[in-house]
Amino acid sequence: MPDRTRSDYDLCVVGAGPAGLNATVTAGERGLRVALVDVGVQPGGQYWRHPDERFPDTLPQPSATRRHGWREYRDLDARLDALVRGGRVVHLAGRHVWGVHPGRPFLVRATAAGEDADPVVVHARRIVLATGAYDRQLPVPGWTTPGVMAAGGVQALLAGHHVRAGRRVVVAGTGPFLLSVAAGLAEAGAEVVAVCEANALTGWAAHPLRTLQEPGKLVEGAGYVTTLLRHRVPFRTRTVITAVHGTGRVTGATLRRVDRRGRARAGSEERVDADLVALGWGFIPQLELAVGVGAATRVDVDGSLVAVVDDDQRSSVSGVYLAGEVTGVGGAVQSGAEGALAGLTAAADAGRADDPRLRARLRRRIARAHRFAVAMHRASSVPVDWPTWLADDTLVCRCEEVDTGTVRAAVRDLAADDPRDVRVTARPGMGMCQGRMCGFALSCLVSVETAVTPAAADLASLATRPLATPVRLAELAEMADGEEG
Amino acid sequence: MIDDSTRQLCFDGRNVPFRPGQSVGAALAAAGISSWRTTRVGAAPRGLFCGIGVCYDCLVTVDGRRSQRACMTPAHEGQVVASDDPRRALDEPGGPNA
Amino acid sequence: MTFRGPAPDAVIVGAGMLGAAVAYFAAAAGMSVIVVERGSIASGTTSRCEGNLLLSDKEVGPELELAHYSQYVWRGELAEHADLWEFEAKGGLVAAASEAQRAGLDALAEHQRSLGIRAEPVEGPAALREIEPAIAPHLLGGVYYPEDAQVQPVLAAHHLLRLARERGAEVRTHLPVTGIRIVGGRAVGVNTPDGAIDAGAVVVCAGPWSGDVARLAGVDLPIRPRRGFVLVTEPIPVTIRHKVYSAEYVENVASSDSGLQVSPVVEGTPSGTVLIGSSRERVGFDAGFSAEAVGRIASAAARLFPVLADVQVMRTYSGFRPYSPDHLPVIGEDARMPGLWHAAGHEGAGIGLSVGTGRLLVQAMRHATPDVSLLPFRPHRFADADAA
Ligand SMILES: Cc1cc2nc3c(=O)[nH]c(=O)nc-3n(C[C@H](O)[C@H](O)[C@H](O)COP(=O)(O)OP(=O)(O)OC[C@H]3O[C@@H](n4cnc5c(N)ncnc54)[C@H](O)[C@@H]3O)c2cc1C
Ligand SMILES: Cc1cc2nc3c(=O)[nH]c(=O)nc-3n(C[C@H](O)[C@H](O)[C@H](O)COP(=O)(O)OP(=O)(O)OC[C@H]3O[C@@H](n4cnc5c(N)ncnc54)[C@H](O)[C@@H]3O)c2cc1C
Ligand code: FES
């Protein structure tokens, strides 16, 4: 067996998005020995996802003039490169961390995500968790039909592979991110039949200029509005998709106008043809590693479970720092600033010189971005009555194929009365994605039935995943002899 | 230019072009193929959903290895991709795909 | 006080498998009961175990008698509900890797047959693979136990409580018992943050936490947790047909080691996942991940079924088996505190033994002579031993 152990790191950073990259570079440049572990073969995370750099001829790279924040990425990437060449930082790409465990004082276990990598075990004195987020989803009749995708996934195909997942597209859900997805699709030549925003957007959409002035914004809203206008993309507020049609492949969707709570207005049905439906209801922080190390959590304004940090990005667990979407969805700018602050704090806690001016500047940037994010979350919240769109046979859990009726029956007939209880009784969330896709929806459905608002503990039980990603039995067996010591 | 570097993988006996650097899932989607897995209970078709490796809906058999995420697996020349069938038996170790 | 109306005959502390079984048989016998559970139903050990109803791992003595009796209840009085909790008499297979193990197994099987357990010898690797085609070729043979069965414990607990509710029982979840009310040396009810609940009897079904609950009445009940890990694989096509374990477990049962013990038990489930258990170690209520336990379980399972080596494990979980110093449960009224009853400490067999326990306890509460003597399970036996 090859030696998989990487010992003696001052810091292990999990995630190479805006937060993790900033943490790595900041800590590395202050003299810490850092191991950066990320699933991707190249850094960037979700925001800076770009085509495989080894093939610039077949998959053109973004340009700084057309891609927001691209110059910043190039700068960080160059600094990372310098640190790697200087031996300060090791970038363990193509590795999925499945567990962070106690051991001198931390052991980070990762499995190979790609074919060229092998599993690794990293010993580190401190940890930064910067694992980002994934699209939040709400089930709707027909949402398991091929051709229905997460809005972020549609974006990822475009940004990372230059692939347009359909020709005629409906984009639906809530939040400014939908505009960015629709604009990307329109520019790639897709016909965007409609962008359906569930909320009225009296907040940010009415003031696109204010949005532009705000450096902490989630997406560059006004720029996308221009693109959408140029392509004549219909933008509809207070409109949702209540059904997706097609067997084997999406053929269309039913749109409905809704009231403030998300109740469909009578007679407002409209059927549109489409071969791609992109759905996004905000983002859910990827929290299992933070929950796994025992970090304290709370429910954020957008209803997501997030991990608690102090003003310097320390979690409630000594030696564990958190940065980016895991502390509350705030977008790339906030993530980057939090990452830099986490790197700075980890270095200072390890005895390196502090930089009070940088610290103050980062804190200000985070506070500003956070204020904007809170306003945005309020303007684009999930309508409370969304479960009224569901039929009894609408699947809630895509993996285990558990439908709405079964979830409701678990509460009504079997007295399962919190999300964890429903999960173990009726099996939603017990499949391969470990409840990532249905966890939020499940907690809403149970809450409707029990009339109890989900608490942080309920959501944390759904975010508990002892294995953050599946691991081959033979690979687990290698731990049998305590080989990592 | 771009055509020169177009390669092919084999999906269920059919040639599917891809550009180096793309994932199996991206190649299939670009070819208009939207499903390659059947669910265990409802025998329903599934393909890409999250696009970033977290939903496990896009599972596919790649060069004999079961349950690979199409959206995370890089495409290669000559790769043999087979739709995932929950009823197909596991390979014995030491078998053709071991 | 939130409970209105006349005091019920019993208040049951804990809605795990044991609380559910006691509530069911009490309600079925016409008793009025309230179950008080601090979490949700089955939120303790009952949702962190495997649901095996085993005879194959029992040795002569009171536990075997209770296991036999429970099988009779599962398959008799409860047969009409079997589908609700996915009862499946799938049979167990124990496989030997060496001649020595095989000899040991044969001897055990012969002994078990003399006690009335069906234990069929499996002669040679070919016969073994006929029963379980994917089993490792190096295994030499073993013993087949056709009576071994399983249920889905979470469903069993929920449905037994549903049936109890239909017969008038009340279940109060997310409500911890914080005190036991004692009047004139007798337990007469419990305290909760919602107020007091008075009852004719207090039944402690708090699993590994039963010692803490008994202490509320000033009674020492030496029940402690013994941690076990289980691995769950991705759903795969039907590959493993029975509950299969290796003969190492026979050696482990004999061992009194307090350190980590691992005996592989591998079985397929109706949802396509394979459950792989399990470990035993005394580490208090530490729910942290153990690389050694998980690694050794994985390694043992891959030796038993090499075909699983490349299968992905999607989650692990651990639970705390409630065990007593003599590894027998405590069932019955506590002689030190009249009105205080116990049904706890069933260690690694609480699912299987639950329904027998519930039925016998209710017989005793109703002053009938239990079908099986509860004397070996009397709760105060450890105090007797101390005094002696
Ligand atoms: C699919 C998707 C597309 C998005 N596109 C945009 C966009 O175009 N514009 C925009 O403004 N915002 C976008 N967002 C929002 C995005 O969350 C933020 O803009 C920003 O990327 C957050 O930065 P971060 O560093 O906190 O997390 P991320 O950028 O998400 O980075 C987290 C990184 O950690 C890795 N990771 C997670 N878990 C593990 C693990 N266990 N082991 C190893 N690595 C792990 C991930 O693979 C990822 O590379 C998108 C989000 C998603 C989910
Ligand atoms: C890994 C593993 C595998 C196992 N495999 C099997 C098997 O295959 N077959 C088998 O038969 N058994 C098996 N077991 C054993 C079985 O799980 C237990 O014996 C059984 O679940 C015990 O049930 P219980 O009701 O006594 O305890 P629990 O299920 O723990 O229930 C006790 C309940 O009391 C509640 N409670 C505690 N304190 C209070 C309070 N103060 N107020 C209110 N409520 C309270 C708890 O919240 C809990 O819900 C296994 C155990 C483990 C750990
Ligand atoms: S599309 Fe979700 S994992 Fe591949």
User: What are the mean pLDDT values of chain C's consecutive 10-residue runs (388 residues total)?
Assistant: 74 98 98 98 97 83 92 96 95 93 90 90 94 95 94 98 98 98 97 97 98 98 97 95 85 63 90 93 93 95 96 97 96 97 97 98 98 97 71
Distance CA C10, CA C164 (A): 13
Which two tokens mark C311?
Answer: 């299968």
Contact A421 C41 (CB under 8 A): yes
* Domain C92-146+224-322 architecture: 2-Layer Sandwich (3.30)
Distance CA A175, CA A186 (A): 18
Note the pLDDT of residue B97.
39
Interior angle at CA A14, CA A11 and CA A16, nearest 5: 110
Distance CA A452, CA A28 (A): 46
CB C355 within 8 A of CB C26: no
The per-residue pLDDT for range B2-35, each reduced to its tens digit, is 455 679 999 999 999 999 999 999 999 999 999 9
Note the pLDDT of residue A209.
40
Between A46, A149, A286, which is nearest B49 by CB?
Answer: A149
Distance CA C369, CA C371 (A): 6
pLDDT band at B92 (very low <50, low <70, confident <90, very high): low
Between C234, C239, C307, which is nearest B93 by CB?
Answer: C307
Which two tokens mark A346?
Answer: 């980890």
Residues of A in contact with C158 (CB under 8 A): 414-416, 425
ipTM for the complex shown: 0.94
Residues of B in contact with C310 (CB under 8 A): 65-66, 93
* Res. B79: pLDDT tops 60: yes
Superfamily of domain B4-83: Beta-grasp domain (3.10.20.30)
pLDDT-flagged residues of chain A (< 70): 1-3, 65, 116, 202-222, 482-485
Indicate the domain borders of chain B: 4-83
Chain B (42-81) residues lying within 8 Å, Cβ to Cβ, of chain A: 42, 44-57, 59, 67, 71-74
Distance CA C307, CA B29 (A): 32
Chain A (127-156) residues lying within 8 Å, Cβ to Cβ, of chain B: 134-135, 144, 146-150, 152-156
Q: Is A98 on the interface with B (CB under 8 A)?
A: no
Return the residue of C nearest to B98 by Cα.
C310
Distance CA B23, CA B11 (A): 13
**How many contacts, defined by CB atoms under 8 Å, are there between A and C?**
115
Note the pLDDT of residue B87.
78
Distance CA C116, CA A320 (A): 57
Backbone angle region of A175, left / alpha / beta, with phi > 0 → left and psi within -120 to 50 → alpha: left
Closest C-alpha residue for ligand 1 atom 48: A45
Note the pLDDT of residue C209.
98
Residues of A in contact with C42 (CB under 8 A): 421, 424-425
Residues of B in contact with C235 (CB under 8 A): 40, 86
Return the residue of B nearest to A150 by Cα.
B50
Note the pLDDT of residue C13.
98
Atom of ligand 1 at shortest range from CA of A15: 34
CB A411 within 8 A of CB A450: yes
Q: Is A367 on the interface with B (CB under 8 A)?
A: no
Residues of A in contact with B74 (CB under 8 A): 41, 52, 114-115
Q: Which residues of C332-357 are buried (b: 16+ CB within 10 A; e: fewer)?
A: bbbebbebbbbbbbbbbbbbbbbbbb
Between B67, B91, B93, which is nearest C234 by CB?
Answer: B67
* Domain C10-50+153-222+327-387 architecture: 3-Layer(bba) Sandwich (3.50)
The per-residue pLDDT for range A195-245, each reduced to its tens digit, is 999 999 765 555 444 444 444 444 455 677 788 888 999 999 999 999 999
Q: In DSSP terms, which residues pair with A169 in a beta bridge?
A: A192, A276
Q: Which residues line ligand 2 (CB under 6 A)?
A: C 13-19, 36-39, 43-46, 48-52, 176-177, 205-209, 213, 228, 230, 277-278, 319-322, 344, 346-352
Indicate the domain borders of chain C: 10-50+153-222+327-387, 92-146+224-322
* Percent above pLDDT 90 for chain B: 76
State the average pLDDT for chain A: 92
Which two tokens mark A99?
Answer: 């567990």
On the CB side of A316, how many CA atoms lie within 13 Å of its CA?
13
Note the pLDDT of residue C108.
87
Note the pLDDT of residue A481.
72
Atom of ligand 3 at shortest range from CA of B54: 3
Residue A145 Cα to ligand 1 midpoint, Å, equals: 25
* Res. B91: pLDDT tops 90: no
Note the pLDDT of residue B96.
41
Of B86, B39, A477, the residue nearest C231 (C-alpha):
A477
Residue A71 Cα to ligand 1 midpoint, Å, equals: 18
Note the pLDDT of residue A252.
98
The per-residue pLDDT for range A299-349, each reduced to its tens digit, is 999 999 999 999 999 999 999 999 999 999 999 999 999 999 999 999 999
Amino acid code (one letter) for A86: G
